[in-house]
Chain A
Amino acid sequence: MNQFRYYSLRASEARFGRFFDNKAIRFLIWFVTIALYGLAIFVLWYLHNSLGWLLCSLAIVLTMLMIWANGELLHPAIGKSDNITDVLSRDILVLLNRKPTSRKLAEIVCKTQSGGFLAMRYAITPTLLELCVADLSEDIEPIFAKAREIQQITNSEQIAGAILSVAILECNPKCETILKRMRLTIDDLYGGIIWYNYLHGLVKNMRKPRHTGGFARDLMFGYTPTLQETAVNISRMREGVIKEQVHLAAHDEIIEQMIQIFSNTGRQNVALIGPEGSGRATIVTAFADKILESESKISSQLKYRQIFKLDAAALIGMAGKRGRVETLVRDVLTEGYMAKNVIIWLENAQLFFEDGEGSVDIANTLLPILEGGKLRIILTMDEQRYLEISARNSALANALNKIMVHEANEEETMRIMQDHVPEFEYDHNVIYTIWALKEAYRLSERYVHDLVMPGRALNLLEAAANHAGEDKFVTEESVQAAIEKTYGVKMQSTQTNEDKERLLHMEELIHERMIDQEGAVKAVSDALRRSAAGVRNEHRPIGTFLFMGPTGVGKTELAKALSDVYFNGEGTMIRIDLNEFVSPDDVERLIEDGAVNELSLTSQVMKHPFAVVLLDEIEKAHPQVLTTLLQLLDEGILRDVRNREVSFRDTIVICTSNAGANRIREYIDSGKDLAEVKEELTNELIHQGDFKPEFLNRFDEICVFKPLSKEDLRSIVDLIINGVNKTLENKKMNVVLNDEAKDLLVERGYDPKLGARPMRRIVQQTVENIVAKAVLSGEMNDGDSIMINAAMIKESLD
Chain B
Amino acid sequence: MVMLMVGFLSWWYTRGWANFVQKFINKLRGMADFFSLGLLFKTFFAPFRQLDAYTSNNASLQQQFHEFFDKLLSRLVGAVVRFLVIICGIISLVATMIGGFLAICIWPVMPILPIVGIILTMTGVAL
Contacts and interface: CB of A to CB of B under 8 A. Distances in A.
Interface of A: 7, 9, 12-13, 16, 44-45, 48-54, 56-58, 60-61, 63-64, 67-68, 71-72, 77, 209, 211-217, 219-223, 294, 300, 304, 338-340
A584 to B, nearest CB: 57
Given A71-B11, A216-B40, A294-B33, A222 B110 contact: no
B16 interface: yes
B39 to A, nearest CB: 6
Contacts of A67: 16
Contact of B43 (A7, A68, A220, A339): A220
Interface string B46-63: 111111011000000000
Interface in B21-52: 29-30, 33-37, 39-40, 42-43, 46-51
Given A12-B3, A64-B12, A71-B15, 7 more contacts: A9-B3, A50-B125, A64-B111, A214-B37, A220-B46, A220-B50, A220-B78
B15 A72 contact: yes
Contacts of A54: 117-118, 121
27 contacts: A16-B4, A50-B120, A50-B126, A54-B118, A57-B113, A57-B116, A60-B113, A61-B114, A64-B8, A64-B111, A68-B12, A71-B16, A72-B15, A72-B16, A211-B30, A214-B35, A214-B36, A214-B37, A215-B34, A216-B39, A219-B49, A219-B78, A220-B50, A223-B49, A223-B50, A338-B50, A340-B50
Q: What 10 pairs between A and B have smallest CB-CB spacing?
A: A57-B117, A222-B50, A214-B36, A57-B114, A216-B36, A53-B120, A211-B33, A220-B46, A53-B117, A54-B121
Contact of B49 (A16, A221, A294): A221
A72 B15 CA distance: 9
B118 A13 contact: no
A49 B114 CA distance: 17
A216 B15 contact: no
Nearest to A64: B110
Nearest to A56: B117
A52 B126 contact: yes
A445 B34 CA distance: 46
A293 to B, nearest CB: 10
B114 A60 contact: yes
Which of A214, A217, A340 is packed against the most chain B CB atoms within 10 Å? A214
A81 to B, nearest CB: 14
B16 to A, nearest CB: 6
Contacts of A60: 110, 113-114, 117
A215 B37 CA distance: 10
A217 B29 CA distance: 15
A689 to B, nearest CB: 73
A221 B51 CA distance: 9
B67 to A, nearest CB: 14
B105 interface: no
B98 interface: no
B19 interface: yes
A53 B118 contact: yes
B8 A211 contact: no
Contacts of B11: 68, 71-72
Interface string B73-95: 00000100110010000000000
A646 to B, nearest CB: 52
A57 B126 CA distance: 14
A22 B123 CA distance: 39
A9 B50 contact: no
B118 A57 contact: yes
A223 B78 CA distance: 14
Contacts of A49: 126
A495 B123 CA distance: 88
Contacts of A64: 8, 12, 110-111
Contacts of A44: 126-127
B120 A214 contact: no
A206 to B, nearest CB: 16
B50 A53 contact: no
Interface of B: 3-4, 6-8, 11-12, 15-16, 19, 29-30, 33-37, 39-40, 42-43, 46-51, 53-54, 78, 81-82, 85, 110-111, 113-118, 120-121, 123-127
Contacts of B127: 44-45, 48, 52
Contacts of B114: 57-58, 60-61
Contacts of B120: 50, 53
Nearest to A294: B33
A114 B46 CA distance: 52
Contacts of A213: 33, 36, 39
Contacts of B111: 64
Contacts of A52: 126-127
B112 to A, nearest CB: 10
Contacts of B48: 219-220
Which of A58, A64, A220, A338 is packed against the most chain B CB atoms within 10 Å? A220
Nearest to B11: A72
Contacts of B36: 213-217, 219
B30 A68 contact: no
B85 A216 contact: yes
Contacts of A217: 36, 39
Contacts of B12: 64, 68
A219 B40 contact: yes
Contacts of B78: 219-220
A12 B51 CA distance: 65
A219 B35 CA distance: 11
Contacts of B117: 53-54, 56-57, 60
A213 B40 CA distance: 10
Contacts of A7: 3
A216 B82 contact: yes
B7 to A, nearest CB: 5
A12 B50 contact: no
A44 B35 CA distance: 40
A209 B30 contact: yes
Which of B37, B50, B81 is packed against the most chain A CB atoms within 10 Å? B50
Nearest to A221: B50
Given A60-B114, A64-B12, A51 B50 contact: no
Which of B36, B37, B78 is packed against the most chain A CB atoms within 10 Å? B36
A45 B12 CA distance: 31
B97 to A, nearest CB: 18
Contacts of A215: 34-36
B46 to A, nearest CB: 4
A71 B7 contact: no
Contact of B39 (A45, A71, A214): A214
Nearest to A15: B4
Given A16-B4, A71-B16, A72-B11, A339 B50 contact: yes
Contacts of B54: 338
A143 B116 CA distance: 50
A335 to B, nearest CB: 10
A223 B51 CA distance: 8
Contacts of A222: 49-51, 53
B12 to A, nearest CB: 7
B121 A12 contact: no
B36 to A, nearest CB: 4
B27 to A, nearest CB: 10
Nearest to A63: B110
A208 to B, nearest CB: 8
A340 B118 CA distance: 64
B87 to A, nearest CB: 12
A11 to B, nearest CB: 10
Nearest to A68: B8
Given A338-B54, A339-B50, A219 B81 contact: yes
B25 to A, nearest CB: 13
A623 B98 CA distance: 87
B81 to A, nearest CB: 6
